[in-house]
Amino acid sequence: MNSEDVIFMRRALDLAQLGTGYARPNPLVGCVVTHQGRIIGEGWHQQYGGPHAEVNALESVANQALLRESRVYVTLEPCAHHGKTPPCADLLIAKGVPEVVICNEDPFPLVAGRGIDKLRAAGVKVETGVLAAEGRWLNRRFFTFHEKKRPYLVLKWAETADGFLAGRYFQPVQISGPQAGLLTHQWRAEEQAILVGTRTALHDNPRLNVRDWPGPQPTRLVIDKNLSLPPTHHLLDSSQATLIYTYRQPRHATNLDLVTLSEADDLIPQVMGDLYERQIQSVLVEGGPTVLNALINAGLWDEIRVFRAPLRLGQGIAAPRMGLTALRERRNVGPDELFWYVNDKKPAVH
């Protein structure tokens, strides 16, 4: 790849990121149209169900005649099937685009190389793999969902300097600072769902919504085996879509879906299977220790983000402990320190 390809593809990746939270469950896609080394059009997939990145980019070109002499950069293989919109590969062919540069091939079964094949069959010169690693990281949720057949799992917690995430008997304690809280709300907006266990739901009475950051509200997920949450708790207030996983018989309520699991089978694979069937591609897991440890022990996580605060409790509920793993980032967030890990070993759910 040449330096020009890198520059334009990186611009396309930056554009793609603008669709975070709104394009899902579609992937993040950006597109740049160039003519003689200059950008003449660009776009991104802004909203699920709306025009794809290629459509927006091609329509933004003032002189449509230049498309027959253009080079188009797109972060994901153009679709070749009819979904909510017509195939983007057909559009590129119809516009007479002679060259297309692609970051990643699409793992979605209805595409999976068909878009590239269609373009090449029409005489379009196609190059692939430009900034492929950066593209996979950008769409890591989408790739994990389709390749591993489960949601992308981000585990998050705050712990004290001496390794506790709650007081004795799960007494709630404000551990992290306001800057960490703001960043947590940004993360909530970026993921499709948020998961907590019974004790966290009971003792913390969380809202699990996005309040301090712009973005869509995630689906709330609660593991409540015996339906022990009182009806006055926020998670049962019908303010946003909520799934309750239980061993009891479901009851119906507005904006609330109770899913009965089998006590004879492991709980976590059942939850992951249900989320996959519901097309939920990513989950932010905010606790508590039982859920976090179960996922860590099973190797079912993709990222772990830990805020470590200067506060010391001396006793309480211990934070999860991990073995050696890949530290992606370590930085200060207000008075706290953020440790961000990435799991290189990502098992599927069987």
Q: Are 275 and 300 in contact (CB under 8 A)?
A: no
Q: Is 190 a catalytic residue?
A: no
Helix (H) or strand (E) holding 76: strand 71-76
Residue by residue, DSSP assigns 124-184 as -EEEE-TTHHHHHHHTHHHHHHHHHSS-EEEEEEEE-TTSEEE-GGG-----S-HHHHHHH
Residue 39's Cβ-side half-sphere holds a number of Cα atoms within 13 Å equal to 16
CA-nearest of 257, 263, 243, 136 to 192 is: 243
The widest CA-to-CA distance across the chain, in whole angstroms, is 71
Please give the C-alpha separations between residue 240 and each of 159, 193, 219, 254, 280, in angstroms, as whole numbers: 28, 11, 7, 9, 15
Amino acid making up residue 147: E
Q: How far apart are CA 53 and CA 86, in angstroms?
A: 12
Give CA–CA dist 84/90, Å, rounded. 15
Pairwise CA distance, residues 239 & 246, whole Å: 20
- Name the active-site residue from 4, 42, 54, 159: 54
SS3 letters for 205-252? CCCCCCCCCCCCCCEEEEECCCCCCCCCCHHHCCCCCEEEEECCCCCC
Among all chains, which residue has been given the structure tokens 């709980």? 267
SS3 state at 102:
strand
Q: What is the DSSP letter of 110?
A: T
CA-to-CA separations, 313 to 106, 158, 239, 289, 338, in angstroms, rounded: 48, 13, 34, 17, 19
How are strands ordered across the β-sheet holding 256-260? Answer: 256-260, 242-246, 219-223, 193-196, 282-285, 152-159, 303-308, 336-342, 326-333
What residues are annotated to the active site?
Answer: 54
